[in-house]
Amino acid sequence: MPARVVVVLDEQKLGEKVAGMLVEAGYETIALPDPMVALDALENAALIELLIASIDFPIGKPNGVSLALMARSRRPEMKVIFLGSPDYALYAAGLGDIIPTPATASEIAQHAERFLGSPVGASPDRKIARNRFFKPAAGSPAQSPDRCAAIPGSLQWPANDPGLG
């Protein structure tokens, strides 16, 4: 079975491009527009092997490190690749690799492929539907993105954190 990958980047078009490249390479991949939708997908999917996430998202949304920590509480074996400033390396230490931004879709996809290895049973002509392994619960944020709202408080970077200046 090919690796299952979730991509959630603050630049949605870049996330979609990365996901498309990974699908072409034979990995089951989905690009999600927002960390809350991603959290729902990560909690409801049968298996996720890799999360590719921006470290920083706009105010009001969980940051990528919080997303990875929440997902890892249920999936400790899941690998993580973060995109962001190397200044955030301390926050992501021990959770996964950091690709410094700006990065191209090709660089991100290549890093993911190296991280995962070759997809088992994949062939160059095999195309995999992006959403087939995600079955969001009825009424969940993944089914209704307009219902997504960040949980106030601990899911955001601390406003008084000197490392964010």
Q: Which residue has the tokens 């601990």?
A: 154
Peptide bond into 102 cis (omega under 30): yes
Least confident range of 3-17, 99-113, 123-137:
123-137
- Give me the phi and psi of 22, to 5 degrees please: -70, -35
Tell which phi-psi region holds residue 71, choosing left (phi > 0), alpha (psi between -120 and 50) or beta. alpha
Q: Which pTM value belongs to this model?
A: 0.71
pLDDT given for residue 43 in this prediction: 85
- For the chain, which residues make up each domain, given as ranges? 4-119
Assigned superfamily of 4-119: Response regulator (3.40.50.2300)
Kindly report, residue by residue over 116-161, the tens digit of the pLDDT. 986 644 443 333 333 333 333 444 443 333 322 222 332 333 344 3
Give the other-Cβ count within 10 Å of 107's Cβ: 14
What is the C-alpha separation between 114 and 130, in angstroms, rounded?
A: 20
